[in-house]
Amino acid sequence: MHFFFPGIRPIILPNLSNIPSFLYWTVYLTAIVLIGSGILISIGKRITAVSLIIGIGFFLLFLFGHLPSFLSATTRADKLKYWVNLNKTLALSGGFLILASVNMKDTAGEKIKSFFNAVLIVGKCFFALMLLLFGIGHLTSTTSLSALVPKYIPFAKFWTFAGGIILVVSAISIFVNFKVKKIAFILSITLFVWLVTLHLYYTFLFPHWQEGENFIGSLTCLAFCGTALLISRNAKISSTATTNKLNVQAANEAKEQISFQR
């Protein structure tokens, strides 16, 4: 996207579409870093390190780029514009932190494992916070948001409200660690349906709207779908690991009892 549209994309940093020519190398550098990171993750090289660096990077962009722009906005329209990317950037940070954590090597030391367990919790909270806030937005602004549903889909208000419920329930599930595996999987399916029926629809229909923002919307929706799948998969692994640990512990206790009796 950085090679086809001017400046740095708003999902990375706001208000940088017009960059002086002598600083335009930063646009290409941003593109190269993103492309290189994507390739490394795709081929399974340095996933933990790359994902952790990009996750921290997105959090810094959220903290020092998107949040100040949102807080300094004076009009409702500007606040809404910044609000969307503010939450998306935080969720992208969370997704990369989750990816870094779940790909940590089993041979890592206890301190490293504890660190990445904390990173995993932070990543989930970042992602869940976006789900909660976007879900509340769907429930409180159903009429205005339903106007974004393509005309070929009937009962737009119903699907908008239902989508809000799914987002809020998913967020609560992740926050309280309840039925995460199933609910996160349902969330991933929901996001994929939205990708196909809504985001890709507008991407193909209006590919140049706001300098490719529909295409970026499709990509972020796909990324969030993957994050939901990661959370679901990790919940399954955690459950299995806990069960195995309990089984091993029970077996050891049984052996100790037998030895004592002898």
Lowest mean pLDDT of 45-59, 62-76, 147-161, 237-251, name the range.
Answer: 237-251
- For residue 236, pLDDT over 70 is answered with no
Taking residues 228-234, report their average pLDDT: 94
Per-residue confidence (pLDDT) for residue 20, from 0 to 100? 87
What lies within 8 Å, CB to CB, of 43 at 6+ separation is none
Tens of pLDDT, residue by residue over 93-146, are 999 999 999 988 777 788 898 999 999 999 999 999 999 999 999 999 999 999
Count CB-CB contacts under 10 A for residue 241. 10
Give me the mean pLDDT over the 233-256 stretch.
55
**Mean pLDDT (whole number) for 183-208:** 95
Q: Cα 48–51–54 angle (5° rounding)? A: 145
pLDDT of residue 234: 87
Q: What pLDDT, on a 0 to 100 scale, did the predictor assign at position 241?
A: 47
Q: Look at residue 106 in the predicted model and tell me its pLDDT.
A: 75
One DSSP character per residue, 93-123 reads: HHHHHHHHHHT--TTS-HHHHHHHHHHHHHH
pLDDT for 104 equals 84
Query: pLDDT class for 3, splitting at 50, 70, 90?
Result: confident
Residue 114: what pLDDT?
92
Confidence of residue 258 (pLDDT cuts 50, 70, 90): low
Given a contact cutoff of 8 angstroms between Cβ atoms, the answer to whether 130 and 88 are in contact is: yes
Please give the residue that has the higher pLDDT: either 3 or 35.
35
- 17-73 pLDDT, tens digit per residue, is 888 888 999 999 999 999 999 999 999 999 999 999 999 999 999 999 999 999 999
The reported pLDDT for the residue numbered 252 is 56
Query: Residue 259: which pLDDT band, with cuts at 50, 70 and 90?
Result: low
Are 186 and 166 in contact by the 8 Å Cβ rule? The answer is: yes
pLDDT value at 155 more than 80: yes
pTM comes to 0.87
Mean residue pLDDT across the chain: 89
